[in-house]
Structure 1
Amino acid sequence: MDPRRRVPRTDAVLGEPAVRQAVARMGRPLVKTAVARAQDRARAGEIPPEEVAAAALAELDRIAPPRRVINATGVLLHTNLGRAPLSAPAVEAVVAAAGSTDVEYDLATGTRARRGRGALAALAAAVPAAEAVHVVNNNAAALALAATALAAGREIVISRGELVEIGDGFRIPDLLVSTGARLREVGTTNRTNLADYAAAIGPDTGFVLKVHPSNFRVEGFTGSVDVADLARLVHRPGGVPLVVDIGSGLLAPEPLLPEEPDAASTLKAGADLVTASGDKLLGGPQCGLLLGRADLVERLRRHPLARALRVDKLTLAALAATLHRPEEVPVRRALLASPAELSARAASIAAALKEHVDAWVCDSVATVGGGGAPGVELASVAVSLPARLAGPLRTGRPPVVGRIEGGRLLLDLRTVPAELDAELIRAVTRRCR
């Protein structure tokens, strides 16, 4: 029989449970088009007729909106999984802001108001040491805006040991040079001292930049200059601004991360301007935070480039809610979770899974990730499963992503909110049938 005669009818494919779910998520016209393309591939002999539904679903997965994933990797800020998950109050704020909102409107007076005033007020309240604050769409944008407004056509003095590469191959020096600024590199890869900076500062200096090397550590024969010493140097008569990129978005000191710089301490040490990410340890949406001297922040806010870098209403809503309710932030909850609590949850999950699969509880080590707290290890607990389940769980609904270690799949519970335990059990059970 001609295999083309075995190509399933469109209505038969659309009636399959997984395809019906795709219709509910993405609409019948889009799904029907994908099915038709898969049928054409089967008629051309590219795929067996029995794989039409699977091929259509695979195509739809490639164009589908991002799906919610259960992060069981043990990496709190997993860049590939969207970094910080939003808190419930932040999600509610985003939903409310999705329609018409008072993002730039004063309901009391019926007149135009400063855009995002609620989020800016919340950020200013969270970091009283900052005279003024501003928000752009990510930390790279914050640095680009500072370089453009303060150092275009001039020099930025920076240590060679801080010329770091960030995500996806982007490099800080390339970013800064693209703004029209020139880099004045000082010191060496492993050692930079105060005299190096002093010798480089001159009439062409726009500002001195200190970048926290959040993705790595250099150990051994090393040396760097702290913010307080740099501030004393640059704040002499005729001095220049000191800009510090702290990276991870920690607004205040965190005892569990003593080596991680925070905005409040950095400003108190003498930084004129601090830049940071909102979607890392702050636990909010992707955005770039600018905090510091009022005159510098206002200069950046009024620069023409600021318009191109501004955040939308959804980001402002999520940021405000994150700052108002820090105790609800999932990243913070994961960071503070006790091993005893994690052990009890892991035992309960493993017990529920034992009748379906070889599952047991084991110690684990979690990390902060997301370019924050390099080398910091967090004692954790995981549910250990056969490694063969890694692929099926990743492609399940919802997808579950763990990590392979010692020939086993570990589901690290430090990065799984407790309210998702039942859903995690169901997801694993379905893949064991």
Structure 2
Amino acid sequence: MDPRRRIPRTDDLLRMPAVEAAREVLSEQVIRSHLQSVQESARAGEIAPEAVADTLAQKLSQAPATSLTPVINATGVIIHTNIGRAPLSDAATAALTKAAGYVDVEMDLATGLRSRERGAGATRALLAACPGAEDALVVNNGAAALLLATTALADGGEVIISRGELIEIGAGFRLPELIESTDVRLREVGATNRTHLADYAAAITSRTRALLKVHPSNFRMEGFTAEATVAQLRGLADEHDLPLIVDLGSGLLTNDSALPEEPDVSAQLAEGADVVIASGDKLLGGPQAGILLGSAAIIERLRKHPLARALRIDKLRLAALEATVNAKETPVHQALHVDPETLRGRTVTLAAAVGGRVVEHVGRVGGGGAPGFPLPGWAVELPAELAERLRAGDPVVLPRVHQGVCLIDLRCVPASLDSEVAAAILRARGAA
């Protein structure tokens, strides 16, 4: 008899106690998807028909509610875009969980009426951390913040920008295309490597609505270069009554001694920017968010623009952002300021445990922050073939593969996880 005839019927499987228990946490379509997958495995001869029920029960008991897989970042890149950029602090994670239920995001509890103070807590936290700003607005990401600023301030007109700042970031995303997706046109001035204040001045016409300066977050230009400063552009903007927009990107609110050359929001505001744009999930170390800090008049124009509604941020990230700004420090800050001797000691201990070799390794900020700026440190060097096994393990350990070797950098790994990393490496070695 064809063994496939012994595969349990769908109705019988759906009445299993394991399926009933799974219905407490999984939807019916998810359960049926797992059921069909197991039946297909039996039809293909991958499992015996008699193993279908037990295999289904095991799958359902282990089925996650999300397909996202936690990763231990052992690359040495702090803000790694491919694995979600900045990890949240404990305070931000707790705030996000607290906001998952009903919260007074748009309600005045004293009156029981709708409030217009959505995001007020995050705004207060940002203004306290960046006193140079008069007001703040938060939208769903950095690109949205730039789109809102240019659209609200230059709709139907032109924005002047240096050719050296027409940047493309990850996945082929080009800022000029974003800006010109609305009724705004860019007026490119200067040369790729040198743009002077006079270039901006010569380009101003009756159609000019704003000046835009963009931090080239993913690259550096060296050699025969020149650029107009924010202070210089402020004077020109005042002469022609134009707003000055600065897209900083990296999310550094104030100067950080670990990154002496990285521009910060406070400095740009002090030099005269009307509005500065930054990302929440980069050097700030919080959730994905587009932060706009600047003059009260400009922020109010942005807040009232119809596009602001389409780009607004949700309650979960508002809560996490407020907690991030108010917290003492974040995992990003810890990784950036890790004690060199402590890091070396942990690396030596790991190498001894797994049979690796300690080598010098330069970490990076990543995510468009401090491009090219080195973060000296150490890593455990292992055979390159272990990288694939580590990425397929449980937990997943993401190493760096460089020049034919697998490197484990503990800069971004909490010390409490060192033993898990060691165990994962030993399992990967044992699978050889």
Q: Shared topology, TM-score over 0.5?
A: yes
Trace 1:228-243 onto structure 2 (pairs within 5 A). Answer: 228-236=231-239, 238-243=240-245
Aligned match of 1:352: 353
8 Å CA contact retained: 1:26, 1:64: no
Q: How does 1:389-400 map to 2 (within 5 A)?
A: 389-400=386-397
CA distance in 1, matches of 2:318, 2:27: 34
The Cα of 1:86 is off from its aligned counterpart by 0.2
Normalising to structure 2: TM-score of the pair?
0.88
Q: Secondary structure at the match of 1:196?
A: helix
Residues 197-216 of structure 1 mapped to structure 2, 5 A cutoff: 197-216=200-219
CA contact (8 A) 1:155 1:206 kept: yes
Match of 1:405 in 2: 402
Q: 1:36 is matched by which residue type in structure 2?
A: Q
Give the match for residue 273 of structure 1.
Answer: 275
Distance in 2, Cα, partners of 1:4 & 1:362: 56
Deviation at 1:41, TM superposition (A): 5.3
Partner amino acid for 1:208? L
Indicate which of 211, 222, 225 corresponds to 2:225: 222
Give the aligned residue type for 1:33.
S
Structure 2 gap ranges (5+): none
The 2-side partners of 1:277 and 1:84 are apart by 11
What residue identity is the alignment partner of 1:383?
A: V
Kept in 2: contact 1:4–1:49 (CA 8 A): no
Moved more, 107-116 or 258-267: 107-116
Distance in 2 between residues matched to 1:260 and 1:269, nearest whole Å: 15
**Matches of 2:283 and 2:24 in 1, distance apart?**
32
Contact 2:387 2:398 (C-alpha < 8 Å) held by counterparts: yes
Q: Is the 8 A contact 1:8 1:49 kept in 2?
A: no
Q: Is 1:429–2:426 an aligned residue pair?
A: yes
Residue 416 (structure 2) aligns with:
419
Mark the CA change 1:4 to 1:432 in structure 2 (over 3 Å): closer, same or farther: farther
Cα offset for 1:234? 1.2
* Distance in structure 2 (CA, Å) of the matches to 1:306 and 1:41: 49
Cα contact 1:147–1:179 (8 A) shared by 2? no
Aligned length: 414
How far does residue 32 in structure 1 lie from its aligned partner after superposition? 5.7
Q: Is the 8 A contact 2:213 2:246 kept in 1?
A: yes
Greater mean alpha carbon deviation, residues 240-249 or residues 96-105: 96-105
One-letter amino acid matched to 1:215 = N
Q: 1:348 to 1:205 in 2, by over 3 A?
A: same
In 1: Cα distance, 2:251 partner to 2:2 partner: 62
- The residue type paired with residue 377 of structure 1 is P
| Change beyond 3 A, Cα 1:349–1:305 | same
Distance (Å, rounded) in 2 between the aligned partners of 1:382 and 1:61: 34
CA RMSD in angstroms, aligned pairs only: 2.9
1:228/1:3 Cα in 2 relative to 1: closer, same or farther (>3 Å)? farther
- 1:257-336 matches, cutoff 5 A: 257-327=259-329, 329-336=330-337
Tell me the residue number matched to 1:173: 176
8 Å contact kept, 1:161–1:191: yes
**How far did 1:190 drift?**
1.0
Sort the Cα spacing of 1:62 and 1:318 in 2 relative to 1 into closer, same or farther, 3 A.
closer
Structure 1 partner of 2:359: 362
Query: Does the CA-based 8 Å contact 2:135-2:299 persist in structure 1?
Result: yes
Classify the secondary structure of the residue corresponding to 1:415.
coil
Offset, 1:102? 1.8
Q: 1:227 deviation in Å?
A: 0.7
Correspondence for 1:65? 67
- C-alpha distance after superposition, 1:24-69 (max 9, x if no partner): 99749535633533542553x5x74489979x98xx9999431221
Contact 2:26 2:65 in 1 (8 A): no
1:34 aligned partner:
34
Task: Give the aligned partner of residue 338 of structure 2.
Answer: 337
TM-score by length of 1: 0.88
1:138 maps to: 141
User: 1:407: how far off?
Assistant: 2.6
Secondary structure in 2 aligned to 1:350?
helix
In the TM superposition, residue 203 of structure 1 has moved relative to its aligned partner by: 1.8
Supply the distance in 1 between the matched residues of 2:7 and 2:381 (Cα, whole angstroms). 41
Is the aligned partner of 1:118 residue 2:115? no
> 1-side partners of 2:282 and 2:259: how far apart?
13
